[in-house]
Amino acid sequence: MAVAKYVESYRQLSGTIHDAGLMRRHRSFYLSRIVAWLVVLAGLLAAVIAFGATWFQLITAGLIGMVMAQLGFLSHEAAHREIFASRGWNEWTSRIIAGLFMGLSFSWWMAKHNTHHAYPNQEGVDPDIDSNLIAMTPNAAGRRRGIGAFLSSHQGAFFVPLLFLEGANLHYASLKTLFSAPNVPHRITEIVLIAVRHGGYLSLLFVVLPFGMACAFFGVQVGFFGILLGGAFALNHIGMPTVEKGIHIDFLRRQVVMSRNIKDGPVARFFLGGLQFQIEHHLFPAAPRTSLPKMQTIVRERCARYDIPYTERTLTEAAATVVAYLSQVGVRGQDPYTCPLVRRYRG
């Protein structure tokens, strides 16, 4: 059977990756970066106090948004158990970074992100393509009415401004889950962490800055945070094939075909935090960031051997693809997917 061939191929690929030692954790790498970014954050908050009431503070706000995104990458990696051997140490590291420094719920993110990994780009299942801001599929665009329909029909042009709102959307979704969803693990602890974070952070801003300037500062910080985190997902997944709910594809092809890598380099490395190797990350989520470049060579060779489409683009090429795709899908009834694998399963 064809599917059995790919299942066996992934088993062999996994053995090769493990035998090469690429799944070994790199604790010192992560701990040094967590400490470094927290020091940078402390320095920026001190700068807010030192500079006082000046509109140049908006530069500081953007820089803090960037630091929050970097901490988001590290929290994400801890949640995937890339730092410690202990599941508990990884989860609490991620929970504290997310709650105390970013103001987000670990439990909300974990449930959402695990579903994304299990069903990437699957309509009605993957929460990351079920956006209130952007219509990711023709079906989603077709359901929009009024202002939503107008925005979706122009979403290619509005893409960056819409991403600017993604940070606020993440905070809202996180708090909504914490206060309304049943059976949230460590609900009270996470509420306390987020309350301390927001209370301390907002108190600092509104004590040091005039009201309007403080509001602008917070908006810019959350906006830059949303652009960087939302942009990472967009570059990795938007414009790649989607599949309808209920369709089953083997793990190897599902993770590779639905993801896009970004060519590695200093800029991609900084702004994507290892997620420029999105295909490898989806195939082996527990692999540390430091192992992904070597892993890419092995994975790409395996995909070529089995004729599995392996997509890698530069930052500018990926951004152009995302904008072009969103512009096309925003016009209801137009389906831009041409992937033979997806067409086969849809047929």
State pLDDT tens for residues 52-107.
999 999 999 999 999 999 999 999 999 999 999 999 999 999 999 999 999 999 99
Supply the DSSP string of 260-312, one letter for each residue.
Answer: -EE--SHHHHHHHTTGGGHHHHHH-TTS-GGGHHHHHHHHHHHHHHTT----E
Q: What is the distance between the terminal CA atoms of the chain, rounded to a whole angstrom?
A: 19
Alpha-carbon distance of 13 to 16, in angstroms, equals 5
pTM over 0.75: yes
Q: Which amino acid does the sequence have at 292?
A: L
| Full residue range of the structural domain in which residue 99 is found | 2-346
Q: pLDDT by residue (tens digit) across 200-217?
A: 999 999 999 999 999 999
Give per-residue pLDDT as tens, 215-224: 999 999 999 9
Label residue 151 by pLDDT band (50, 70, 90). confident
Q: What is the pLDDT of residue 347?
A: 44
Report the b/e string of 115-131 with b at 16+ CB within 10 A.
ebeebbbbbebbebbeb
Domains in the chain, number: 1
pLDDT digits (tens, 9 = 90+) for 291-347: 999 999 999 999 999 999 999 999 999 999 999 988 888 665 455 555 555 555 544
Has residue 180 got a pLDDT over 60? yes
Q: How confident is the model at residue 147 (pLDDT cuts 50, 70, 90)?
A: confident
Sign of CA pseudo-dihedral 185, 188, 193, 195 = positive
